[in-house]
Amino acid sequence: MPTKKKTKSKTKKKASKPTRPPARRQPETLRLRGVSPSFTANDLQRSIAFYRDVLGFVVGDEWRGESGVLQGCEMHAGSVVFMLNQDDFAKGRDRKKGLGTRLHVDTAQDIDRLASEIKARGGTLDQEPADMPWGQRIFTITDPDGFKLTIAQAR
């Protein structure tokens, strides 16, 4: 039995023009693509141990002086990089660090499990995991030099 041959439609669609993004506000505002905070440590080795062994960061690049002494390093956690530097104490040995500053970082990890693991590795939380009215679950912790961190998971 013969079959009917399908024919293609001869109507062509009009080509659509590519759309341009909307014009930027003038004067153009600052557009950043990342942030890498740098913390000055009283005892660099103690701070490295805290970020690596307690929080779970990984040591990246290290910076050494002419004598080979470690002066600073990068600490990686996911796509985030913190920098730690040894304080030269030019502004005094007893100066307070981290005053008036809190670093808020986001994670996709289970916040309760993460907090439990940090405590099991010797960390002391400033605030246990809690739901926030804006839809995140957070806990807070302070590093050995007084820099405050809020670690948050979206709900």
Dump pLDDT digits (tens) for 78-127. Answer: 999 999 999 988 888 888 888 888 999 999 999 999 999 999 999 999 99
Query: Does residue 44 contact residue 72 with C-beta atoms inside 8 Å?
Result: yes
* pLDDT for residue 89: 83
Which residues contact residue 38 at a Cβ distance below 8 angstroms, ignoring those fewer than 6 apart?
Answer: 82, 83, 84, 85
**pTM (global) more than 0.85:** no
- Asked whether residue 72 carries a pLDDT value surpassing 90, the answer given is yes
What confidence tier does 27 reach under pLDDT thresholds 50, 70, 90? confident
Measured between alpha carbons, how far is 75 from 147 in angstroms, rounded to an integer?
15
Name the residue ranges covered by the structural domains of the chain.
Answer: 38-88+97-154
- CATH code matching the domain that covers 38-88+97-154, chosen among 3.10.180.10, 1.10.10.10, 3.30.750.24, 3.40.309.10: 3.10.180.10
Within 10 angstroms of residue 151's Cβ, the number of other Cβ atoms is 24
Residue 7 has a pLDDT of: 57
pLDDT score recorded for residue 6: 57
